[in-house]
Homo-oligomer: A and B are copies of this chain.
Amino acid sequence: MGLVLAAIAASQDAGHSVAMWCHDPASADAITQTRRSPRLEHFVLPESVRVTAEAKQALHPDGKAADIVLSAAPTQFTRGVWERLSPVMADWTRRPRIVSVSKGFESATHQTPTAIIASALEGEGIDRPVVGVLSGPTIAGELGKQLPATMIAASGDAGLAAVTQELFTTSWMRVYTGTDPLGVEVAGACKNVIAIAAGILDGLRAGYNAKSALLARGLAEITRLGVAMGANADTFFGVAGAGDLATTCFSPEGRNRNCGESLGKGMTLADHLERTQSVVEGVATARCVAALSAQYGVDMPICATVNAVLHEGLEPIEGIQLLMTRPPKAEEIG
């Protein structure tokens, strides 16, 4: 995701200086030489993007403090990355502007990526950053091929949202602005739990009716959580909510959906993780959502069922039966 967005920003007519930080020198060297990624068919990183493992170079792409920093580390690594990067920002004379594209809650704290970043910088005594998020249904492989896509750039700072929109808008990428970064982050984290449920339905061959109901009712319950946490319900019905959830539930490639499909076919979680050697974000997120749902007093039957299947030994088929046979009620949304 970081690679593709770096390429877009570097390709704009405005001629921005773009630097990209990698956590280890070997990766930085490899990308510098090949300009390619094994995961992104057809993708070539423009020569103008400087790739480095040096924090100081990355955060000062044309010799002075970066105007905008895009944070693309996996959520569980975000704090460590910013604790490592931020010392070189100690002499910045204005508040850093940081846009996160990470999705998830930190397992230990249940914080969203922008909260993690703010907290990591605070620990280093850096000025409180101006934060924003950029999110949407964005399978990286499709972006690499420049297939059409949409994102939302959301920030409490309208200027940052507008600049982010401008930086990443192309003929094939439509970027909306929004004012609710928290909603975007809650939607982006929770969708992985619903995607595991979608995969379970696929593994059980439950059909499109069931999966589409899951999408609608899953969206309703993550909206309820978001609203309880202070987000705006509308955000959940936009490209970062319903849109990203649809991609995550229906694309056959997603790691979370795939994990659910293995569970639906009778494989254990341990066997699936062992076999695929992949990080399935929703597995940790399910625990966070269960904790947040209790903390905010929000009923989230689908996420609770996924958590019970993942971590409490509930059989997937029993989980579906429990969900289907709850007492009949009125449909409630956000």
Contacts and interface: CB of A to CB of B under 8 A. Distances in A.
Interface of A: 136-139, 142-143, 145, 147-150, 152, 165-166, 169, 171-172, 174-179, 201, 206-213, 215-217, 219-220, 223, 234, 236-239, 241-247, 249-251, 320-321, 323-326, 328-331, 333-334
A217 B239 contact: yes
Contacts of A242: 212, 215-216, 219, 237, 242
Nearest to A136: B213
A244 B208 CA distance: 10
A236 to B, nearest CB: 8
B142 A234 contact: no
A331 B176 contact: yes
A160 to B, nearest CB: 14
A237 B213 CA distance: 11
A329 B142 CA distance: 23
- How many chain copies? 2
B209 A138 contact: yes
A244 B207 contact: no
A207 B334 contact: no
19 contacts: A136-B213, A137-B208, A142-B208, A143-B209, A147-B207, A147-B210, A148-B207, A149-B210, A166-B328, A174-B328, A209-B247, A212-B242, A212-B247, A215-B246, A216-B238, A236-B237, A246-B246, A246-B250, A250-B250
Contacts of A176: 328-331
A170 to B, nearest CB: 9
B212 A333 contact: no
8 nearest A-B pairs in the assembled complex, by CB-CB distance: A216-B243, A176-B331, A137-B212, A150-B213, A149-B209, A212-B246, A212-B247, A142-B207
Nearest to A205: B147
B139 A208 contact: yes
